[in-house]
Structure 1
């Protein structure tokens, strides 16, 4: 008998990620690629897969095109993720990831996704109104496809928090703007620095400005704001603490999903009742470990524990003086 899920991830706009290895590729030229692989993806799908790797019982929902659902169904079976996706006509979008190990970067080309009907959206909302028994954490993840209003996450946050659930949010653009300007904020918000700047409509050029912006969200009802800043690390802020976590150096296979791994790490830390410093170490280790793999996969526990021990954690207030 399967263990009831503790976490439900929500991915309204999943994608098949086509990752192409193309070292030294040049824009506007004919380029040779070294390898390619296709993975079922989308932010919430990745978060669910990574939590399952850690040993958390997790369910995943969202809107999934029937025409190419098979890779997602295979992933869920292999990881032991409970499939609660609403099937819709058509095919999930394809996201192209061009990985250049020569330069150490990844270029993303993301298509908009299926246009969602009112019926499909209502079916998803019905799933969220009656999640699987045992779920106490809901992670709202990724972009919204055409047909889903930009206020969708903001409205779901208020309703889910009203049910007493812990809500994590990782999105961008207008969806993040609406959620951060709503009356009720999620308990966990994890934008990257560029997403936060866009949502707030201003540049955050100093550590003090980033810290002040995070603390403003805490004052307005968030409980943990994590601002990821790529290889520099991440700022983690609660009502009582503010820390900056710097990751250890690792051999990068692909940076795709590093933010999703951080969300998974923060959720697992919440489930285990960890303090902020331990949560910062675990989330940073998840992120560092995930980029040593292609696709949404974590290294073994022992390797993650070793990475967590190498994370440098310091007071964020000390960095602003």
Structure 2
């Protein structure tokens, strides 16, 4: 089982408009509402691939109940822990003419010590069933900056691997705990290391404790530095659309292939193919199976050295 953690769960609201015009008035052509947050999106992708996944994290208030209702409708195992505050909403406006998305993320409610203690106890129980734990997204107000570090250590003690997808102080604090894989994008990795060069930045994260680093380079694919070597994985072509869910699909592929024991070149090929398959979809958590099937046999994965990455 793969356990996904979403400490800042949300109700994702997506508006589809013909075209997004700054300072303009827009007629909304379609509205979609469903459970979200990065870990929830990862679980949704895993479920679509037939890989069992459990959703845990924090949810509260009327919005939190809507999140839980939608998880049940989607057939996802709900192990969210109640909290006092009302869960956040995110709003994504997708333009039909080019597929581009504009996202508005609320910060989330303040989490008190009791809710955090309840979650930690639930996590310690669930992690005993898990082969891989996915820790995704921002930390809500009230949680300590080393929250992910604590969860990485708990997972390791239970024998579970970890995939960490976060940024800023939460990422920095978690590195010393030795997460199995960290997956920043180029902006996030530059922010925490001070290196604009992705190779130097990835090596810096490894030096600070991450066992493997998979850096997302957007439409250029992935760069990975691991205990088994370094690779560059490149999609066969670029796709236009909404990249909002691409990172979550990438994490889903990494978690699934880590659980099945695939070698790194296979993990990266799957990750690029699945993240590309998310781009044409208006909502995070969805993937285009035809594109996934096409790309998983055509993604280029090359052993590389620092001088090969530009």
Both proteins in one fold, TM over 0.5: yes
Sort the Cα spacing of 1:316 and 1:39 in 2 relative to 1 into closer, same or farther, 3 A: farther
Given that residues 98 and 241 in structure 2 are in contact (C-alpha distance below 8 angstroms), is that contact kept between their aligned partners in structure 1? no
Sort the Cα spacing of 1:232 and 1:193 in 2 relative to 1 into closer, same or farther, 3 A: same
Q: For residues 256 and 165 of structure 1, what CA distance do their matches in structure 2 show?
A: 28
Question: How far apart are 1:90 and its partner, in Å?
Answer: 4.0
Sort the Cα spacing of 1:105 and 1:10 in 2 relative to 1 into closer, same or farther, 3 A: same
Report what 1:3 is aligned to.
none
Gaps of 5+ in 1: 1-5
Which SS does the other structure have where 2:215 is aligned?
A: strand
- Give deviations 1:251-302, integer Å, cap 9, x for gaps: 54522211010000001111121111111111111111122223312344x6
Question: How far apart are 1:104 and its partner, in Å?
Answer: 4.6
**Alignment match of 1:262 (pick from 244, 250, 258):** 250
TM-score by length of 2: 0.91
- Give deviations 1:53-76, integer Å, cap 9, x for gaps: 111111111111231234433443
Q: For residues 83 and 64 of structure 1, what CA distance do their matches in structure 2 show?
A: 11
Given that residues 152 and 177 in structure 2 are in contact (C-alpha distance below 8 angstroms), is that contact kept between their aligned partners in structure 1? yes
Sort the Cα spacing of 1:32 and 1:306 in 2 relative to 1 into closer, same or farther, 3 A: same
TM-score by length of 1: 0.88
Given that residues 99 and 282 in structure 2 are in contact (C-alpha distance below 8 angstroms), is that contact kept between their aligned partners in structure 1? no
Given that residues 61 and 84 in structure 1 are in contact (C-alpha distance below 8 angstroms), is that contact kept between their aligned partners in structure 2? yes
**Alignment match of 1:54 (pick from 43, 49, 53):** 49
- Give deviations 1:162-190, integer Å, cap 9, x for gaps: 3322111111122112223xx32201100
**Alignment match of 1:45 (pick from 40, 58, 82):** 40
Q: Which region of structure 1 is more displaced relative to structure 2, 74-83 or 150-159? A: 74-83
Given that residues 58 and 82 in structure 1 are in contact (C-alpha distance below 8 angstroms), is that contact kept between their aligned partners in structure 2? yes
Sort the Cα spacing of 1:40 and 1:252 in 2 relative to 1 into closer, same or farther, 3 A: farther
**Equivalent pairs, count:** 308
Question: How far apart are 1:228 and its partner, in Å?
Answer: 0.6
Q: For residues 192 and 141 of structure 1, what CA distance do their matches in structure 2 show?
A: 13
Counting only pairs closer than 5 Å after superposition, residues 1-321 of structure 1 correspond to structure 2 as: 6-131=1-126, 133-180=128-175, 183-200=176-193, 202-204=194-196, 209-249=197-237, 252-295=240-283, 296-300=285-289, 304-317=292-305, 319-320=308-309
Q: For residues 128 and 146 of structure 2, what CA distance do their matches in structure 1 show?
A: 26
Question: How far apart are 1:250 and its partner, in Å?
Answer: 6.5
Which SS does the other structure have where 2:296 is aligned?
A: helix
Q: For residues 132 and 79 of structure 1, what CA distance do their matches in structure 2 show?
A: 22
Sort the Cα spacing of 1:100 and 1:299 in 2 relative to 1 into closer, same or farther, 3 A: closer
Given that residues 215 and 239 in structure 1 are in contact (C-alpha distance below 8 angstroms), is that contact kept between their aligned partners in structure 2? no
Q: For residues 271 and 197 of structure 1, what CA distance do their matches in structure 2 show?
A: 29
Given that residues 190 and 201 in structure 2 are in contact (C-alpha distance below 8 angstroms), is that contact kept between their aligned partners in structure 1? no
Question: How far apart are 1:197 and its partner, in Å?
Answer: 1.1
Gaps of 5+ in 2: none
CA RMSD of aligned residues (A): 2.2
- Give deviations 1:30-72, integer Å, cap 9, x for gaps: 2333332122110011111111111111111111123123443
